[in-house]
Amino acid sequence: MSANSRPFFVLAREALGDALRRRLVLVIAVASLLSLLVVDSCTSCGSATIVRNGQSVAMPEIAGFSALAVAIACGLWTLILAGALASDHLAEPLADGSAGLVLARPVGRGSFALARLAGALVIALGSGGVLLIGAGCLLHARQGLPWPPLIAAFGASAAGAVTVGALAMAASLQLPRIATLLLLLMGVAGVAAANFAGLFGAQLGGLAGLVDGYGPPLVSSIAFALREWIAPTAVPGNALALGLRHGVWMLASAMLLVHAFRRAELD
């Protein structure tokens, strides 16, 4: 570890400790457990069969699509968690004055903001990872679906979580928390709806087309990672293009967060 990166990791560890002491983490743990129970129920329903001429016939297509829906739901849960945790993880120390005490040390504002973001992301990605692993084990055991695609799906969820978390944290410096949360839910829902429409072949125009074609591929990248569960050609997209879009949005959102925090006034 270089001398330049050591302060960042120290700040990130402190940010993670602050996040773990919040009561919201207990709520997240309970909600994640309930979500895992829902996943358990959904995966048991996914192994659907029909009766034709008195004989049971399996429907692997329905099983694959239901499994894809479960995994995408776990990914969206991870994104919303990242935004919710980040929505006050920087604004709170800024409001209570503790950020000024930390910045009195030889610490840059950019490092402090990104470290707070990293602390929130660790919890969100940990919770999302547990859900995806649980879903993958259940789907593999009950429906015979391969679990390796979930690794790429988790990577896509993590990239989206960085973007959503950074944008939510930047917005929280200017907006009240309730407004930030509403903006978070509306933004994730809007992008997800546009991505879903694009996946089903809808001809999108106007704002929806721009969001699906140039916005962060929050759902598109997860679905593309899991295309093997239904058919390799059933999900449109290109791995390189989706990866580049994620990279651009992660970099842009992080730069926006750093810029917004540098302009914020310390109490």
Q: Would you say 123 and 28 are in contact if contact means Cβ atoms under 8 Å apart? A: yes
DSSP secondary structure, 129-188, as one string:
HHHHHHHHHHHHHHH---STHHHHHHHHHHHHHHHHHHHHHHHHTTS-HHHHHHHHHHHH
31, 41, 155, 195 from 138: Cα distances, Å = 19, 10, 20, 26
* pLDDT of 220: 93
Q: Per residue of the chain (267 residues), what is the pLDDT tens digit?
A: 555 567 777 888 888 777 777 766 666 667 766 666 666 666 565 444 544 445 544 444 556 677 788 889 889 989 999 999 998 888 888 887 787 777 777 778 888 999 999 999 999 998 888 888 888 888 777 777 788 888 999 999 999 999 999 999 999 999 998 999 999 999 999 999 999 888 877 777 888 889 988 999 999 999 999 888 876 666 777 889 999 999 999 999 999 999 999 988 775
CA 119, 68, 198, 186 dihedral sign is: negative
